Amino acid sequence: DAGITQSPRHKVTETGTPVTLRCHQTENHRYMYWYRQDPGHGLRLIHYSYGVKDTDKGEVSDGYSVSRSKTEDFLLTLESATSSQTSVYFCAISGTGMADTQYFGPGTRLTVL
Amino acid sequence: QQQVKQSPQSLIVQKGGISIINCAYENTAFDYFPWYQQFPGKGPALLIAIRPDVSEKKEGRFTISFNKSAKQFSLHIMDSQPGDSATYFCAASFLGNFNKFYFGSGTKLNVKP
């Protein structure tokens, strides 16, 4: 998985609780992304980062926030989890070369009861 | 709106047959078109990619066909094997956009022995 780890790999939580997912890379890539994967929807971009402390929203950012204080770490926070946020979350990284592809982590399966 | 549309949603092919998955896009600024393969419980992994200056790219049993005028591209898997059973995603991106990818909704391929 191209030097990308995600933690935790599985989590069950209750509605209304805060949740933080962590993505850690060892590739020193500049760009990092958070996606959610749901049946019939493919991979949808939640937030992305283009440098330390530089982040922006993706297409499904409502209810999520992110932070990147170091090149290697990108955190995704659900401030108050809802059942609609039950999903599989993937982190991806990419370099800055021409047509650099994205490399994905192993994913985190989150269930919100 | 969905920038990349993928079909079919699911596909059943006999061993040795040809699997064909199609994608269509709207944004003519896209200049990089990767295909990802995802096995259950794993993150997506790059399978093959193409740039619009060529009409076809082949890697082993996997071929991308690209039709710039029709704004369509497709993945062909020759001599399909049960080990090819996975979910396949097409994507598109363009330079200067933080390497953001726009993914299709995915095709679940089942190759029957």
For A18-29, the pLDDT digits (tens) are 999 999 999 899
Does A9 lie at the interface with B, CB-CB under 8 angstroms? no
- Note whether B32 and A99 are within 8 A (CB): yes
Q: Using an 8 Å CB-CB cutoff, list chain B residues near A105.
A: 43
The CA distance from B89 to the nearest CA of chain A, in Å, is 7
pLDDT at A10 over 60: yes
Please indicate whether, in this complex, the C-beta atoms of B31 and A43 are within 8 angstroms of each other. Answer: no
Token readout for B31 is: 């200049």
What is the per-residue pLDDT for B99? 83
Q: Identify the three-state secondary structure at position B30.
A: coil
What is the per-residue pLDDT for A98? 57
pLDDT confidence bin for A2, thresholds 50/70/90: low
What is the per-residue pLDDT for A89? 98
What lies within 8 Å, CB to CB, of A6 at 6+ separation is: A21, A22, A23, A24, A89, A90, A91, A105, A106, A107, A108
Mean pLDDT score across all residues of chain A: 93
Please indicate whether, in this complex, the C-beta atoms of B105 and A99 are within 8 angstroms of each other. Answer: no
pLDDT at B94 over 90: no
For B25-51, the pLDDT digits (tens) are 999 999 899 999 999 999 999 999 999
Please indicate whether, in this complex, the C-beta atoms of B43 and A41 are within 8 angstroms of each other. Answer: no
Alpha-carbon distance of B63 to A71, in angstroms, equals 36
Residue holding tokens 């204080």? A69
Alpha-carbon dihedral sign for residues A41, A55, A11, B36: positive
- Number of CB pairs, chain A paired with chain B, less than 8 A apart: 56
- Note whether A31 and B99 are within 8 A (CB): yes
What is the per-residue pLDDT for B1? 65
Alpha-carbon distance of A39 to A59, in angstroms, equals 17
pLDDT at B15 over 80: yes
pLDDT confidence bin for A96, thresholds 50/70/90: confident
Q: Using an 8 Å CB-CB cutoff, list chain B residues near A40.
A: 9, 105
Q: In sequence order, what are the beta bridge partners of A75?
A: A22, A67
pLDDT-wise least confident of A99-108, B48-57, B71-80? A99-108
Please indicate whether, in this complex, the C-beta atoms of A48 and B98 are within 8 angstroms of each other. Answer: yes
Among A10, A33, A43, pick the best mutation site for testing chain B contact (most B Cβ within 10 A): A43
